[in-house]
Amino acid sequence: MTERRQVCLDVAQAQGRLTSVVGAVFDRYGVVWAGASGTGPGVAAQYRIGSITKTLTAVLVMQARDAGLLRLDDRVGQHLGAVGYAEATLRELLSHTSGMQSEPVGPWWERSRGGDFDALAWANDGRGRVAGPGEFYHYSNLGYALLGEVLARVTGRPWRTLVHDVILAPLGMTRTSYLPRPTAQPGWSVDHFTGIRTQEPLTSTGAMAPAGQLWSTIDDLVLWGQFLAGSRPDLLDPSTLHEMTVPVTEGYGLGLRLTANAGGILVGHGGSMPGFLAALFVDPGSGIGATVLTNATTGIDPERLAMDLIDGDFIDEVPEPWLPTVVVPPEVAGLPGLWFWGNTAIEMRWHNGGLDLRGLATPGRDPDRFTLREGQLVGVSGYHRGETMHVHRRADGGIGHLECATFVYTRTPYDPDAPIPGGHPGPGITRP
């Protein structure tokens, strides 16, 4: 089982083009297994956890409710005055059923330095509503910003201070922080076609922080997973914790995502911020759970990977590890991108020192692969193995079309300025 779990991470790193990925399986007693893949420093590294932060905000709300500071059916306006969505209830915000828009008005909040609550409230006056209260589930980051401000008003402490004093310190989550520690992992976004990485900004999100600001480690998230399985009844009454796991809509309770697994219903949350993906899920009955952290904007489904670690699912053949592209060779410059063979869309991606061709209409099939030999792109696997890809350039030096064994690839379908596409369809391509 241990080897299978490591394979899960290795496959995710290779296929998802992840600089690093770490994961752990745990039970009520501690870590059962932990592993890492890629070029990171290992399981001790700190990553951004995105919307897993919402689970901490939700617990703070439930603690405040139990302390008599608020009621879940209170309306936002009772605590925040005449703000947008003042009529929404705290219960609706927790369960994403208020009908408010998903994101705040303005620049992309996850990549921008955040302002204070007054500025956020002024910009979001309620006109972004997408549904009536309780009409349907609609995930809203903005709703959790409002919850964070409600907590600040009823406790007299900013959300940032409250989450540290009430949750992190009592649980011993010493490596979970509002801002990244000096040794935290950088966040990366990977160019889809070239594999070149771009470092994402590591911002303080201000008033939006209760929706996704925190940074953490595998060990600290194990402590949080154990908490969600009921390890600390002194911090949250077991009946209150159970209340959070009761579905309000299919798949979501009060601040917790609910998902079915072979062993039963798991509770927890996924998370994403520019440069990072995360997941934490646990079975409240058995206490068995898993958590995953990676520094990539896209590439994997972290929730699915967490489930695979619990179950020990694996793939027999592990691809070679992904290595970031430093620079695309000059012979290949301009080739990575979207091309067409007739009307058929072809993705050309520079990957681990080679050019992969994959038909977008046939997902799941292995690509045709070319590598550079003496300045020429020569097929090394797939239908074009042994063939040479010829790059035809225009008078101005730009690429007009590509040709390989009478297969003609153009930037637009059936480009009239290029030769008529020919060739026999390969295993990954269907003739138009």
pLDDT digits (tens, 9 = 90+) for 323-364: 999 999 999 999 999 999 999 999 999 999 999 999 998 877
* Tokens standing for residue 424: 């026999």
pLDDT digits (tens, 9 = 90+) for 14-38: 999 999 999 999 999 999 999 999 9
CA–CA separation, 58 and 76 (whole Å) = 15
In the chain, what is the straight-line distance between the N-terminal and C-terminal CA atoms, in Å?
45
Among 335, 325, 422, which residue's Cα sits nearest to residue 376? 335
Q: Which fold has domain 2-311?
A: Beta-lactamase (3.40.710)
CA–CA separation, 372 and 394 (whole Å) = 22
pLDDT digits (tens, 9 = 90+) for 101-131: 999 998 888 888 989 999 999 999 999 999 9
DSSP 413: T
CA–CA separation, 314 and 309 (whole Å) = 9
Phi, psi of 61 (to 5 degrees): -65, -45
Q: What pLDDT, on a 0 to 100 scale, did the predictor assign at position 345? A: 96
Residues 126-144, mean pLDDT to the nearest whole number: 95
* Tokens standing for residue 254: 């009060």
Same fold? 2-311, 327-432: no
Confidence of residue 415 (pLDDT cuts 50, 70, 90): confident
Residues 131-155, mean pLDDT to the nearest whole number: 96
State the alpha helices, DSSP H only, in 115-198.
117-123, 141-155, 159-163, 169-171
Our CA angle for 260, 221, 50, nearest 5°, is: 80
pLDDT digits (tens, 9 = 90+) for 247-286: 999 999 999 999 988 778 999 999 999 999 999 999 999 9
CA–CA separation, 392 and 388 (whole Å) = 12
CA–CA separation, 71 and 62 (whole Å) = 9
Q: Distance of alpha carbon 377 from its chain centroid, rounded?
A: 35
pLDDT digits (tens, 9 = 90+) for 277-313: 999 999 999 999 999 999 999 999 999 999 999 987 6
CA–CA separation, 226 and 216 (whole Å) = 15
Confidence of residue 2 (pLDDT cuts 50, 70, 90): low
Among 312, 259, 368, which residue's Cα sits nearest to residue 25? 312
Torsion of CA 61, 62, 66, 68, to 10 degrees: 30
pLDDT digits (tens, 9 = 90+) for 217-248: 999 999 999 999 999 999 999 999 999 999 99
Mean per-residue pLDDT of the chain: 93
* Tokens standing for residue 33: 């297994």
CA–CA separation, 320 and 354 (whole Å) = 13
Q: What pLDDT, on a 0 to 100 scale, did the predictor assign at position 110? A: 87
C-alpha to C-alpha distances, 141 to 107, 272, 278, nearest whole angstrom: 14, 12, 16
pLDDT digits (tens, 9 = 90+) for 39-78: 988 899 999 999 999 999 999 999 999 999 999 999 999 9
CA–CA separation, 215 and 28 (whole Å) = 23
Whether residue 430 has pLDDT greater than 90? no
Q: Which fold has domain 327-432?
A: Lipocalin (2.40.128)
Q: What pLDDT, on a 0 to 100 scale, did the predictor assign at position 407? A: 94
Among 117, 107, 69, 119, which residue's Cα sits nearest to residue 90? 69
The structural domains of the chain, with segments of one domain joined by +, span 2-311, 327-432
Whether residue 186 has pLDDT greater than 80? yes
Among 367, 38, 16, 324, which residue's Cα sits nearest to residue 195? 324
